[in-house]
């Protein structure tokens, strides 16, 4: 039984390679072409999003899709304010690199997704780790991001935004919490490396990995 | 240029299908066989983990691998304590279902991974959303979970644990924070549906999706 179950569910070498290709070549995209995302592709991305694991099967997420130019411009203005405040925290060379960084693609991207954590009835596992409700939403974003890579669609997560300001702008109920603000669209290019690495902001490091316990 | 770039990076239909298969058939696994995970497979899982996007490219994660029986038993005891406390929060039918649920596979799983958020130098984007540091670690867990599915390896995220107690047990530095505690191993079966759905704990719901703003 166990063997036959493993046989039917085993991934071929080609399938494994495809999964790793999606995970390893996924990038944070900030330069978009204007072509809209076809509705059937978006449905597939949502299917991947909604298949994420969630603590106690709570599925504590909700999405607002933004396509209107006026809303995008308001979100962009909020980003610019937050960016000016963040810029002041860096000095010297770091500030000069910061000024050169492209940190959003809000006006170009055909679609924005505002991803919220919504209130859910008490369930398993979030007594000891209440933050796992938020983490469930993040896992859903990760699923969408991986599926988007396979579809040739770029995703950029814009974190230089005051979450409460965006939630207000979108008329969110008070118990809904903005968790992620995403730009989606066909990218102008797929960079081989993270944009921040190419820009000289920060480099990739080896994975920190310990055996049995901390040294 | 854009065309040739899109050509070289486009996924075939078979590759797309493999990615969706991994995302849609991934499950939270709680029943493991004792076979160890080969080191080269574990290295590939870590490669997927470490390729996750992180805010400001901070890579704010660290992993402790647990293979010793004695440590597993200590973690299991912590889980049992937390479970007894959580059980008391449910009554009647919910408590009876709770008692039947398999909520961990700690003693069976050949490998545990304690995933930590580690302190990093100030970087981009976590001024407005400081929680994106934790979210980056969650995205890395999601990547590992998806790659594990393709490898035929099951992952269970045990959230019924006091994070501080586990961090103490593993000798974590005070500024390291336990983010996820994972059991890994070859599963006894791949369920077609989430275990909590099959057990009658909670059902899957339609995705909540709004246009432009909340109604």
Please count the CA atoms within 13 angstroms of the CA of B8 that sit on its side-chain side. 9
According to DSSP, residue A209 is labeled E
Its CATH architecture, for the domain B27-190, is 3-Layer(aba) Sandwich (3.40)
Under the banding of pLDDT at 50, 70 and 90, the label for residue A97 is: confident
The edge-to-edge listing of strands for the beta sheet with B61-66 is A209-211, B61-66, B111-117, B177-185, B154-157
Contacts of A82 in chain B (CB under 8 A): 127-128
DSSP result, chain B? -HHHHHHHHPPPHHHHHHHHHHHHH--B---B-SPPPPHHHHHHHHHHHHTS--GGG---EEEEEE--HHHHHHHHHHHHHHHHHHHTT--HHHHHHHHH-----TTT-SEEEEEEE------TTTTT-TTHHHHHHHHHHHHHHHHHHHHT-EEEE--SS-HHHHHHHTT--TT-EEEEEEEEE-BS---SS-HHHHTTS----PPPEEESS--
Who among A86, A122, A150 is closest to B89 (CB)? Answer: A122
Q: Smallest CA–CA separation between A64 and chain B, in Å?
A: 5
Who among A5, A89, A212 is closest to B71 (CB)? Answer: A212
Q: How far, in Å, CA of B22 to CA of A15, rounded?
A: 9
Task: Answer yes or no: do A145 and B23 touch at CB < 8 A.
Answer: no
According to DSSP, residue A89 is labeled T
Who among A20, A33, A124 is closest to B44 (CB)? Answer: A20
Q: Smallest CA–CA separation between A36 and chain B, in Å?
A: 15
Asked if residue A57 lies in contact with residue B197, where contact means CB atoms within 8 angstroms, the answer is yes
| Cβ burial, residue B207 (10 Å; 0-12/13-18/19+) | middle
Indicate the length of chain B as a whole number. Answer: 215
Task: Answer yes or no: do A143 and B142 touch at CB < 8 A.
Answer: yes
What per-residue confidence (pLDDT) applies to A141? Answer: 98
Give the pLDDT confidence of A80-89 residue by residue, as tens digits. Answer: 999 999 999 8
Helix (H) or strand (E) holding A12: none
Best residue in A197, A207, A215 for a mutation probing chain B (most B CBs within 10 Å): A207
Retrieve residue A147's tokens. 């599926």
According to DSSP, residue A105 is labeled -
Q: Which of A92-96, A183-187, B181-185 has the lowest mean pLDDT?
A: A92-96
What per-residue confidence (pLDDT) applies to B126? Answer: 72
Domain extent listing, chain A: 27-188
Q: How far, in Å, CA of B125 to CA of A201, rounded?
A: 13
For A27-188, give the CATH class: alpha beta
Q: Indicate if ipTM > 0.85.
A: yes
Under the banding of pLDDT at 50, 70 and 90, the label for residue B8 is: low
Contacts of A26 in chain B (CB under 8 A): 51, 53
Q: Which of B42-51, B116-125, B156-165, B175-184 has the lowest mean pLDDT?
A: B116-125
For chain B, percent of residues with pLDDT exceeding 70: 96
Asked if residue B60 lies in contact with residue B52, where contact means CB atoms within 8 angstroms, the answer is no
Among A124, A31, A38, smallest CA distance to B159 is for: A124
Q: How far, in Å, CA of B191 to CA of B179, rounded?
A: 26
Task: Answer yes or no: do B129 and A159 touch at CB < 8 A.
Answer: yes
Give the pLDDT confidence of A113-140 residue by residue, as tens digits. Answer: 999 999 998 777 778 889 999 999 999 9
What per-residue confidence (pLDDT) applies to A9? Answer: 78
Under the banding of pLDDT at 50, 70 and 90, the label for residue A6 is: very low
What per-residue confidence (pLDDT) applies to B48? Answer: 98
Q: Smallest CA–CA separation between B38 and chain A, in Å?
A: 16
When pLDDT is averaged across residues A172-177 and rounded to a whole number, the result is 97
Please count the CA atoms within 13 angstroms of the CA of B183 that sit on its side-chain side. 29
Asked if residue B161 lies in contact with residue A160, where contact means CB atoms within 8 angstroms, the answer is no
Closest chain A residue to the Cα of B165, Cα to Cα: A128
């Amino acid at each position: 039984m166990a063997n036959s179950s493993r046989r039917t569910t085993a991934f071929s070498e080609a399938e494994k390679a495809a999964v790793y290709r999606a995970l390893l070549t996924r990038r944070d995209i900030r330069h978009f072409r204007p072509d809209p995302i076809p509705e059937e592709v978006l449905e597939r991305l949502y299917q991947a999003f909604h298949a994420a694991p969630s603590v106690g099967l709570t599925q504590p997420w909700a999405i607002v899709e933004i396509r209107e130019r006026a809303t995008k411009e308001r979100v962009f203005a909020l980003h610019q304010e937050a960016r000016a405040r963040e810029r002041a925290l860096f000095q010297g060379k770091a500030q000069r690199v910061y000024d050169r960084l492209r940190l959003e693609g809000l006006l170009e991207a055909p679609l924005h997704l505002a991803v919220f954590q919504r209130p859910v009835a008490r369930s398993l596992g979030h007594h000891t780790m209440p933050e796992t409700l938020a983490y469930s939403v993040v896992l859903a974003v990760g699923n969408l991001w991986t599926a988007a890579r396979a579809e040739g669609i770029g995703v950029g997560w814009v974190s230089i935004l005051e979450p409460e300001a965006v939630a207000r702008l979108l008329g969110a109920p008070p118990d809904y919490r903005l968790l992620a603000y995403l730009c989606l669209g066909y990218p102008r290019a797929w960079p081989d490396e993270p944009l921040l690495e190419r820009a000289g902001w920060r480099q990739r490091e080896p994975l920190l990995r310990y055996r049995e316990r901390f040294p």
